[in-house]
């Protein structure tokens, strides 16, 4: 069956699901379809489905029925609160990474290895511990005795993803062509973001490398534990990692029953986030409650335990600097500095008027800062700024969107654990310390120390490099002198040629004049005078 026919069948099925959940009104509201809008009344689901259910809930239920890729797309959409209506964003945020598991996972794992399954695993639980849209995980034990988690990709998932992403692009193009709201939401851009993050998750060896990098960053830390990766058993479709044992952070009742210090737990979550962003420039960008567990052996100093490293964020040193400077300027209410930083960073176009952008930022921030600092939401502050930035054609960087999404998760989770969490009180000292480390004598000495290996390589080669450079300069000067001499000779030759031409022209003119009247001495005299003038001009 060719690709076009497959997409057509899938398209018909999607239309059926949308109609079933009363979302046909969204499609039929497109102006191009107005002539056939009456067909909605011929759909049996039009009379059966409960249209009193909110549109956001109906959309969420439809995405679940359409399958794992649409569920994941809904999750991605839920992070774009700067673009989506609030009711739809809230509903899509309820989507969980739980879809029906696939069978024969053991066979899929065995297929990924060249050696017999029994020589690697002593036991393998074929009942999935958890199942997501891209992969699912199983509990197992290695023949060497370690308890592990095995994560395996769904069969044919890449083919399914490519098929459905192709359809998503087609829907987005149609929607943007005929719907003002879709153009405002930048639907094609949203599908592009979704495609990039999803295709990255299809290579589990990349996820394993992300986990190793994060573990190395927190090596010896009492804040965050990252599972050990068993690299000999990692392929592009299978990861084998340490089986961690902890309390799911969403199980707040159990954490309270165990008498865990909830204030410390909430503050540590914020500290982990800012440590990843400002110390490492590399952060876990999918820290929702399903991916976080708590080691409660020390209830006064609980340790976070993270899983699922498919989506990671990274900041350049420039983005890192501007982000820290912006946050500090916000809380000092220095809105002009905020506007200048946005211009300097290139986040808004260079032609943006500083005064206008400053006024817009003030309009967003002042109502927020009228509340106590502990009640101020970092995530909502960034969201409102993104919304304002859109009006000034601000191009929001993907890494900043991941940052905002992660901050929403951390902030919401922290306030669930400890409602009186003052996010700013926790973050402010961290930011101040980071800024002090970036400026001043110590920072310059540290940069000098970091560049010493480079200078150690360059300095021995410096004399030869200087000598080579001087030779090039001398050759350039000699070449320029020769070029100038040649140009001078050419000019001199041109002048001589012109002089000769004028001389010939004068002689010819004189001959013509004399030929007319050889006996006219006055004309001969005037001819000689004209010739003398021509020679004088030529020589000059």
Dihedrals φ, ψ of 300, to 5°? Answer: -80, -25
62: Cβ contacts below 8 Å, ≥ 6 apart: 17, 18, 20, 21, 23, 70
User: Quick check: is 286 catalytic?
Assistant: yes
235: Cβ contacts below 8 Å, ≥ 6 apart: 112, 113, 204, 205
CA 122/CA 109 separation, integer angstroms: 14
Of all helices (H) and strands (E), which one includes residue 373? none
Query: What CA–CA distances, in Å, run from 266 to 218, 269, 327?
Result: 18, 5, 20
Largest separation between any pair of C-alpha atoms in the chain = 136
3-state secondary structure 119-148: HCEEEECCCCCEECCCEEEEEEEECCCCEE
CA 413/CA 415 separation, integer angstroms: 5
Among the listed residues 387, 393, 384, the one whose alpha carbon sits nearest the alpha carbon of residue 346: 393
Contact 301, 225 (CB under 8 A): no
Contact 90, 83 (CB under 8 A): no
Catalytic residue among 82, 97, 164, 286: 286
201: Cβ contacts below 8 Å, ≥ 6 apart: 134, 135, 207, 310, 311
Contact 176, 183 (CB under 8 A): yes
Q: Any idea which residues carry the catalytic annotation?
A: 286
């Amino acid at each position: 069956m060719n690709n076009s026919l497959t997409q057509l069948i899938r398209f018909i099925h999607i239309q059926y699901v949308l109609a079933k959940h009363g979302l046909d009104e969204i499609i039929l509201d497109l102006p191009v379809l107005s002539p056939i809008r009456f067909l909605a009344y011929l759909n049996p689901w039009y009379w059966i489905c409960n249209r009193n259910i909110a549109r956001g809930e109906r959309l969420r239920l439809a995405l679940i029925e359409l399958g794992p890729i649409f569920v994941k797309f809904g999750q991605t959409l839920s992070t774009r609160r700067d673009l989506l209506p609030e009711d739809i964003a809230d509903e899509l945020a309820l989507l969980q990474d739980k879809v029906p598991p696939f069978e024969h996972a053991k066979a899929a794992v065995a297929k990924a290895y060249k050696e017999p399954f029994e020589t690697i695993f002593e036991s393998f639980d074929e009942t999935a511990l958890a199942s997501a849209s891209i992969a699912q995980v199983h509990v197992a034990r290695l023949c060497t005795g370690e308890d592990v988690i095995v994560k395996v990709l769904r069969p044919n998932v890449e083919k399914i993803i490519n098929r459905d992403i192709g359809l998503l692009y087609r829907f987005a193009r149609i929607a943007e062509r005929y719907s003002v709201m879709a153009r405002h939401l930048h639907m094609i851009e949203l599908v592009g973001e979704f495609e990039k993050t999803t295709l990255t998750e299809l290579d589990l060896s990349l996820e394993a490398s992300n986990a190793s990098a994060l573990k190395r960053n927190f090596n010896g830390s009492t804040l965050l534990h990252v599972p050990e990766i068993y690299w000999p058993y990692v392929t592009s479709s299978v990861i084998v990692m340490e089986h961690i044992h902890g309390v799911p952070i969403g199980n707040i009742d159990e954490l309270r029953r165990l008498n865990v210090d909830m204030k410390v737990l909430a503050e540590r979550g914020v500290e982990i986030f800012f440590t990843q962003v400002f110390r490492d420039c590399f952060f876990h960008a999918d820290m929702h409650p399903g991916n976080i567990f708590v080691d409660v052996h020390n209830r006064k100093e609980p340790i976070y335990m993270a899983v699922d490293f498919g989506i990671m964020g990274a900041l350049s040193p420039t983005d890192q600097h501007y982000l820290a400077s912006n946050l500090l300027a916000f809380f000092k209410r220095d809105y002009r500095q905020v506007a200048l930083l946005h211009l300097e960073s290139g986040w808004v176009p260079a032609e943006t008027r500083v005064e206008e952008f400053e006024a817009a930022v003030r309009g967003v921030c002042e109502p927020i800062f009228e509340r106590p600092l502990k009640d101020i939401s970092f995530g909502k502050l960034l969201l409102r700024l993104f919304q304002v930035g859109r009006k000034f054609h601000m191009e929001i960087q993907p890494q900043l969107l991941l940052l905002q999404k992660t901050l929403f998760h951390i902030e919401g989770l922290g306030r669930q654990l400890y409602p009186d969490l003052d996010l700013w009180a926790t973050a402010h000292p961290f930011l101040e310390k980071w800024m002090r480390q970036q400026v001043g004598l110590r920072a310059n000495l540290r940069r000098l120390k970091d560049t010493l290996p480079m200078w150690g390589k360059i300095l021995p080669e410096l004399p030869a490099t200087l000598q080579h450079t001087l030779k090039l300069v001398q050759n350039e000067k000699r070449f320029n002198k020769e070029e100038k001499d040649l140009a001078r000779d050419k000019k001199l030759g041109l002048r001589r040629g012109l002089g000769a031409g004028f001389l010939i022209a004068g002689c010819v003119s004189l001959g013509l004049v004399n030929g007319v009247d050889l006996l006219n001495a006055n004309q001969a005299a005037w001819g000689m005078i004209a010739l003398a003038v021509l020679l004088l001009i030529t020589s000059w």
